[in-house]
Amino acid sequence: MIEVLQSYGMIIVEFLAELLLFSGMILIRLRRRRGFWYRLPLSLVVLFGVGLPVAWFYSAFGGNVFGRIAVYLVLFTLFTLLAAWCFEAPFFTVLFCCTLAYAAQNLAYKIFLIFWTAGEAFRLFDGWGRHFSLFYRLVYYSFFLACAAGEYFLLLRRVGKRLSACVLDSRMLLFTVAALAVTVILCSFEDVYFAHLSVERENRFLSSELVVLREAGNAFSAVCCSIVFLLSYKTLEERELSREVDYLKHAIRQSERQYHISKDTIDLINVKCHDIRYRLGVLASEVPVLEDIRRDVAIYDSRIETGSPLLNVLLTEKSLYCEQNNINISCMIDGGKLNFIEEGDLYCLFGNLIDNALEAVKKITEPSRRVIDLVVKQKDSMLLVQEENYFDGELEFSDGLPVTTKGDREHHGFGMRSLRLIARKYGGELSAYVKGDVFHLNIIFGNRQSV
């Protein structure tokens, strides 16, 4: 019974505590189920309660490879099921998170073993005497916490940020299986067989060849776990980019529909307003007050001419909005130079560009600063799109783009990224910067010959 309790306290509880630490770093990004705060303590009671019979099994069969694999698989499976009970996410997403946590725990353990095996080879710990177990635990926990902090800032935090929209696909399932295989199977084989080869205490060897072999195994396991992390992060990043592309395609389709609706609407308004203005002009000589009404109506009987029918419609629509909100929009656009951009992309590009500027300018109270300047011009072999506007407050930049000021950054901020995606689609590049209280955005399309 004493041996069972020792296995429970020094192996099972320690392993579960480490797994809880790493899983907490990742699962915290997921939405909690209703009643989370009673589910969590109940799950911990079940987990550590089941750990006691598992400790008995470990004491009886832990010296066997398959027995040790069975112990860790049972604990991991129970841990994953309880995590799925606590967090409102697809089961495979929770499985993915728990597997990464397990890989992170194993990575920290293997890094510690690299250090410890080297120390044993050079007899660095021989002077600890009867306090060896105490000093070992102090060194182990200190080393482990340092590794945990490093893994969080270098790996887990980045992975966690991309988990909200995570849905397990075949590649992520492959990474999950690979991580489990490395963490459970390979490491169990290593630990069991090298424990049999150790003398006096575990991970001390008489032969330098065994030390090298043990260190190579530790390093290989650590590299495998690191590769799983890297591939998982890149897969999540790729999925997020794919989601952005899907959003952009949807926005472009919506822009195409919006363009045709706006064109028909503006044409109808202009026809009606032109007729009204003409009739008011005839009557204005008899009723002078009608002249003021005629001038007010005249704004709706006007179009901005850019050389691009699509931009004519878009800018006319935006100029009406600016007139109603006391915003001055200045346009010097050679729209004919933009005919290499598809209609949907062009409408989405300039629609997002102007909408972002309007959102910033609307917050300004001084009339003299409620200004937007938009220029499209040819310069040598380059086509330049330049937009400038005043703004209040401060802008935070990430990856060269201003970060959305809206509270929900996960579901906003696509506008600027869509601008860059469209620019790059046509061989261009986007840059943005702030100078004083003026925001500058430039898009450069290279190798555009003058026409």
Range(s) of the domain holding residue 358: 305-445
178 is a domain residue: yes
**Which among 76, 100, 77 is positioned nearest to 27, based on CA atoms?**
100
Indicate whether 322 and 243 sit together in one domain: no
Amino acid at 175: F
121 and 225, same domain (yes or no): yes
Is 347 contained in some domain? yes
Which one of 230, 248, 266 terminates a domain? 248
Question: Residue 342 sits in a domain of what CATH number?
Answer: 3.30.565.10
Residues 311 and 240 in one domain: no
Task: State whether 142 and 44 are in the same domain.
Answer: yes
On whether both 90 and 226 belong to a single domain, the answer is yes
- List CB contacts of 185: < 8 A, sequence separation 6 or more: 69
Tally of domains in the chain: 2
Residue 8 has pLDDT above 80, yes or no: yes
CB 117 within 8 A of CB 203: yes
Helix and strand element counts for the chain (H, E): 14, 7
| 223 belongs to a structural domain | yes
Domain co-membership, 119 together with 8: yes
In a domain, 105, yes or no: yes
Claim to verify: residue 193 and residue 72 sit in the same structural domain: yes
Average pLDDT, integer, range 96-118: 90
- Do 239 and 323 belong together in one domain? no
Report yes or no on 270 lying in a domain: no
Same-domain check for residues 120 and 204 = yes
Say if residue 201 is in the same domain as residue 334. Answer: no
Compute CA distances 109 → 177, 219, 228, 243, 386, whole Å: 20, 11, 16, 36, 54
Q: Give the model confidence (pLDDT) of 352-384 as tens digits.
A: 899 889 999 999 999 999 999 999 998 888 999
List, in order, residues 6 or more apart from 253 with CB less than 8 Å away: 344
Shared domain check, 90 and 236: yes
- State residue 385's pLDDT score: 95
Q: Is residue 450 part of a domain?
A: no
Predicted pLDDT of residue 5: 83
Is residue 197, in this structure, part of any structural domain at all? yes
pTM greater than 0.85 (yes/no): no
Higher pLDDT, 5 or 45: 45
Distance between CA atoms of residues 419 and 433, nearest Å:
15
Using the 3D structure, point to which of 224, 248, 272 is the last residue of a domain.
248
Mean pLDDT computed over 47-54: 92
Q: Is residue 378 part of a domain?
A: yes
Same domain, 78 and 156: yes
What rounded mean pLDDT belongs to the chain?
A: 81
Which domain-ending residue is among 204, 227, 248? 248
Residue 257 has pLDDT above 70, yes or no: no
DSSP 308-356: -HHHHHHHHHHHHHHHHTT-EEEEEE-GGGGTTS-HHHHHHHHHHHHHH
Q: What is the pLDDT of residue 292?
A: 55
With 50 as the cut, is the pLDDT of residue 35 above it? yes
